[in-house]
A and B are shown apart, each in its own frame.
Chain A
Amino acid sequence: MDRKTLAAAFPATVPVLMGYLAIGMAFGLMLQTAGYGVGWALLMSLTIYAGSGQYLGVSLLATGAHLSQVAFLTLMINFRHLVYGLSMLEKFRGMGLRKFYMIFSLTDETYALLSAAKVPQGVDEHRYYFAVAMLDHSYWIAGSVLGSVLGSALGFDTTGVDFAMTALFLVIAVGQWKKAGSHLPALLGGGATLLSLLVVGAEDMLLPALGMIVILLTVLRRRLEEVPEKKEESLCR
C-alpha cells in the first residue's frame, strides 16, 4: 500500500477511527471480563470483524453455546450484510485477489464510506477502496486489543464517543440527500426501520426492516429507475 493512497484515504476514515476504537475497546473489555484474554480479542477481530456480531460472540462463548446455535445467531445478526454486496458488485470488479478482502471487510461503516466515496483526483479508485477497508479493519483490531489490555484502567472517560458512528451515518445521509434524484429510498428506509423498531422492538428490528426495504424498493422500481441506457435496453428486451 503506497503512502499517497493511504494519505488520501485516511481523512475519510477518521470518523470510523473514533467509532471503532470506542466500540472495539468495549468489545475487548467485554471479552476480557468473560475470561478471554488479548489473544482471543485479536483473533476474533482479525477473522470475524463484525461489531454487533462479535458482541454477540462474547455471550455465545461465555454461555458455551452449541455450534449450530452460534452459526444460526451469527447469521441472524449479520443478515443485513446479505444486501450490501449488491451495491459493490461494480465497484469491486477487477480488483483481483484484493476483492476477497474487500468482501470480508464489508462492515456497516466500510459500506457507508465506500458508497459515499469521493476518490481524490490522481488516486487509483481500487487502491483507495482497499486502503479504506484496511484502515477501518486496523482501527477495529487496535480498539479491541487496547480494550482487552487496558481494560477499565483507562483514565480518559470515553463515554459517548461511539456517537461518532451515528454522526458518520447522519453526515453520509445528508450528502446522499443533496445528490439524490429521489428522496424516496432514504425516507422509505427510515420509515420501514422505525416501524420495525416500534412493532418488533430493538432486538430483532433489522431483519423485518431490511425485508420491507427490499420489497418496497422492488415494487417502486418503475418509479425510481432512471431511463436505462439504450444499448442495455436492446440487449435485454
Chain B
Amino acid sequence: MPLSPVETLASIFVMAIVTFFTRALPFLLFDRGDHPPRIVLYLGKVLPPAIIAMLIIYCLKGVTFDTPAGWLPTLLAGGTAVGLHVWKGNDLLSIFGATVLYMVLVQAVFV
C-alpha cells in the first residue's frame, strides 16, 4: 500500500467523479427543456444494438485459438444462449442454461 489513507480517498474520489462525468456528459449537453437535436435522438435510437454487439465482442476478447479449450466452451455456450433464446424466448432460461453449460465446460470438460 504505497498510498496514505487520505491519498487513497483522493484517488477513489477522482475515479468516482470521472466515472460519473462520463455518464453525465450527454445529459449535461443535450438534456435541456426543449428537445435534443435530431441527430442526438437518432444516435440514441440506433446506438443500443451497435453497443450491445460491441460489448459481446468485448466479452469474447479473451478467446484464443491455440487449443480447443480456448474457444470451444465459449462457442458452445454462446451458441446455446442464442439457440435457446430463438427457440424458447425466455431470458432467464437462455442465460442460466448457457452459463451453467459454460461453467461445466471450463471446470470439468476442458481443464
Contacts and interface: CB of A to CB of B under 8 A. Distances in A.
Most buried by B among A71, A87, A161, A187: A87
B54 A103 contact: no
B65 interface: no
Contacts of A176: 48-49, 52
Contact of A64 (B2, B16, B55, B99): B2
Contacts of B53: 173, 185-190, 193
Most buried by A among B21, B36, B45, B92: B45
B46 to A, nearest CB: 5
Contacts of A12: 91
Contacts of B98: 163, 167, 170
Interface size of B as a range: 35 or more
Contacts of B27: 85, 89, 92, 99, 103
Main secondary structure of the interface of B (DSSP, over half): helix
Contacts of B56: 166, 169-170, 173, 190
Nearest to A172: B52
Interface in B45-77: 45-62, 73-74, 77
Contact of A36 (B1, B60, B81, B86): B1
Interface stretch (A1-9, A46-54, A119-127, A136-144): A46-54
A217 B50 contact: yes
Given A74-B14, A74-B19, A171-B91, A185 B46 contact: yes
B77 A163 contact: yes
A106 interface: yes
A89 B31 contact: yes
A79 B74 CA distance: 27
Contact of B51 (A79, A84, A90): A84
Contacts of A175: 85
Given A36-B8, A83-B47, A167-B99, A48 B92 contact: no
A78 B51 CA distance: 14
5 contacts: A71-B18, A89-B26, A108-B55, A189-B54, A228-B38
Interface of B: 1-3, 7-8, 10-16, 18-27, 30-31, 35-36, 38-62, 73-74, 77-78, 81-82, 85-86, 91-92, 94-96, 98-99, 102-103, 105-107
Given A65-B11, A70-B11, A174-B85, 13 more contacts: A14-B95, A15-B91, A18-B95, A61-B3, A67-B14, A70-B15, A74-B18, A85-B26, A185-B49, A187-B53, A209-B54, A209-B57, A217-B43
